[in-house]
Structure 1
Amino acid sequence: MPRPRRYLCCEPRYFDVRYAINPWMTEAARPGAEVDTDLAIAQWRTLVQAYRDHGHTVETVEPVPGLPDMVFAANAALTLDGRVFGSRFLAPERRPESAAYTSWFKAAGFDVQEPEPESVCEGEGDLVPVRGLVLAGTGFRTTPEAHREVQEFLGVPTVGLRLVDPYFYHLDTALFALDDENVAYYPGAFSPGSREVLRRLFPDAIVATRDDAMAFGLNSVSDGRHVFVAPDATGLIRQLERRGYRPVPVDLSELRRAGGGIKCCTQEVRS
């Protein structure tokens, strides 16, 4: 059954592709490939309305000029049982985002644990709570040191998963939680050992194709029944329907120019 969720989002008022820190941005930064900020805002508003139409609460953090990737709220933190583990970004261009989100969480009454100085942690981009665990991606952004810090802070076991394909630079581009017990994922994004871990933990998982993963189908958000999903991920949508989930297609193609999609734009506040 679906469960009402509380989401934190940030309007892409200053969205742009000004630097390249993943392959999607490299392609978007080619000459003549201008970003349509108005379209990005319109698509983002459609996502927010879809959440609200399905009974979820959406709160927003004020965007900051000069931070074009601040729309990707998932990277700001992991919140679980009312506790917030904050972010420290790998790319210098994104590091100021942490302070803006930390201010929002503190104003909302949360304490925020910051990663140690030597750690990189990119929030729900690489940290996915499911089945009483935190699946923890590494390989491109978040470091294993941060995984250990998350486990100590939250008291929840972390399971490290190594990403090996630069197009899937965050865990949330290659895997998402369908509900409290199961996931969907693309095996090719992971190292052989990590694929085996996922097979053992989630024998009934939905296994996506590379085409659906490249369409950002795995950068989805599920409330346990409704799955907010990229419309181009047609094979994944069919699999979801066969399993009894209700896909809610939302087009965020303009934000995909920076390597982001539905989940990237959505921080779940678990209080």
Structure 2
Amino acid sequence: MTTHAPGATARRYLMCEPTFYTVSYEINPWMHKDQPTETALAVQQWRRLRDTYLDLGHTVERIDPIPGLPDMVYAANGATVVDGIVYSARFRYPERQPEGPAYQKWFADRGFVTHTAARINEGEGDMLVVGRLVLAGTGFRTERSAHAEAQELFGHPVISLELVDPHYYHLDTALAVISSDPADPQVAYYPAAFSAGSRAVLEQLFPDALLATERDAQALGLNIVSDGQHVVHAPGAVDLAAKLRERGYDTIAVDTSELLKGGGGAKCCTLEIRS
């Protein structure tokens, strides 16, 4: 297996501007209601992230933010889209539950065939496409039974991975897809975020994976977006960025520190539309 950057491919992303962003409740360890948030700064950082994608030649679609849904900016949680099939999110916490129907309506209004989830799942937050596989997280948010539901819908093998550290409550906070090329799928992950059995599975599937340091993980440095050549990451992911450059990737640090107060980074803000 080779371990180099396969080259960029054009992507289509869905994003939601954080017009109503704040931290008004606590549903993960990153959130603290007593810590001030700056909505204007969150918008500024979000726009820089969006512009980075546009500068790289990608398409960015927008869903309108809804008052009272401050976490709607984390678009990756809104659905999972594989081969043009939309599997809607069904959120665990009541504060976020209206987001699932809002994202599903966006896709339905644009002619996508959407499927209402019967099981709790939080979209691409816990379902990451790697080649022909879907890696699926469980333990904190998404039910394991949703993995079976997704497999029946997508017709792709779904690999269940158990998360054990509440700071890494979604799979996309603990594992990053570097290349989804079926001929050479590449990931990076933080081993301590996973159960022993799940670590063994990852070692078998991805023996050449990049292993993130604790410093990377604590900066939410695995919450990255890669197009196969360019990797957009948090500035604090210094160790991971160095390893990526060694493999021939171009790394682009984009500050999402204000959005980190809600527990999200670049990937959380970015839902890939795979058609």
Q: With structure 1 as the length reference, what TM-score do the two structures score?
A: 0.97
Match of 1:42 among 23, 44, 58: 44
Q: Does residue 133 of the first structure (1) align with residue 138 of the second (2)? A: no
Alpha-carbon displacement from aligned partner over 1:146-194 (angstroms, at most 9, x marks no partner): 0000000111110000000000000000001101211010000000000
Deviations 1:84-108 (Å, cap 9, x if unpaired)? 1011000000000111111110111
- Counterpart of 1:227 in structure 2 is 231
Can you list the C-alpha shifts for 1:3-27, whole angstroms capped at 9, x where unaligned? 00000000000001011000001xx
Note the C-alpha offset of 1:131. 2.5
Alignment of 1:60-79 (within 5 A): 60-79=62-81
Name the counterpart of 1:121.
121
Question: SS state of the match for residue 232, structure 1?
Answer: coil
Structure 1 equivalent of residue 3 of structure 2: none
Which has the larger displacement, 102-111 or 34-43? 102-111
**1:1-271 matched pairs, under 5 angstroms:** 1-25=7-31, 28-30=32-34, 33-116=35-118, 119-180=119-180, 181-271=185-275
**Displacement of 1:200:** 0.4
In the aligned structure 1, how far is the partner of 2:215 from the partner of 2:230?
22
Q: Give the Cα–Cα distance (whole angstroms) in 2 for the partners of residues 121 and 114 of structure 1.
A: 11
Unaligned runs of 5+ in 2: 1-6
Taking the aligned partners of 1:100 and 1:115, their CA distance within structure 2 comes to 14
CA–CA distance in structure 1, aligned partners of residues 164 and 132 of structure 2 = 25
Q: Residue type matched to 1:236 in 2?
A: L
* Structure 1 residue ranges (4+ consecutive) displaced by more than 3 angstroms after TM superposition: none
How far apart, in 2, do the equivalents of 1:80 and 1:115 lie? 15
Distance in 2 (alpha carbons) for counterparts of 1:53 and 1:131: 25
**Percentage of pairs with the same residue:** 55
Distance in 2 separating the partners of 1:222 and 1:74: 14
CA distance in 2 between partners of 1:111 and 1:50 (Å) = 29
With the length of structure 2 as denominator, give the TM-score of the two structures.
Answer: 0.95
Q: Deviations over 1:203-232 (max 9, x none)?
A: 011110111011011000000010000011
CA distance in 1: counterparts of 2:198 and 2:250, whole angstroms? 29
Cα distance in 2 between the residues matched to 1:223 and 1:190: 25
* CA–CA separation in structure 1 for the residues paired with 2:142 and 2:167: 15
* Alpha-carbon offset, residue 114 of structure 1: 1.2
Query: Which structure 1 residue ranges, 5 or more long, are not aligned?
Result: none
Out of 63-72 and 106-115, give the one that drifted further.
106-115
CA distance, structure 2, for counterparts of residue 141 and residue 255 of structure 1: 19
